[in-house]
Amino acid sequence: MARHQVPQFIEVEDKIFGPLSFKQFIYLLGGAGFTFIMFRVFPLFLALLFAAPVIALSLSLAFYKINSKPFIFTLEAGFKYIMNAKLYIWKKEPKKQIPKTPEEVGAEIFSVPKLSESKLDDLAWGLDIKEKVEE
């Protein structure tokens, strides 16, 4: 019988660029590139002001974990929560009732049920039986 090697530690990403995985390297490279462009385009004060959130985001995407999951999963879940419609079951809204016209109200009061011939025959037969039993 042939022996096969079972892969282990499949949750651990391979370290490709020194101590960094490929994803971490891409996040840091993108943040560094965007920051470099900001320092080239804007004055120093504005570049520092705009680059600080970009640097924080790229560092947190690369290294920060919440509940031992990468930060990108939390960020994605946050965007989905903001974008999707929400259903608040505990906040029941009253049903919107359309006011009825006087003709519709009158029609409801004086409405006669529609009966088919077979239904009429069944009712007549039931009444005949009841009369015969009472006699």
Task: Please give the average pLDDT of every successive group of 10 residues along the chain, which has 135 residues.
Answer: 81 79 92 95 94 95 91 94 86 76 63 67 73 62
User: Please, are residues 111 and 103 in contact by the beta-carbon 8 Å criterion?
Assistant: no
Q: What per-residue confidence (pLDDT) applies to 66?
A: 92
- Residue 34 burial by Cβ neighbours in a 10 Å radius (0-12, 13-18, 19+): middle
Give the count of beta carbons closer than 10 Å to the beta carbon of residue 27: 22
Q: What per-residue confidence (pLDDT) applies to 76?
A: 95
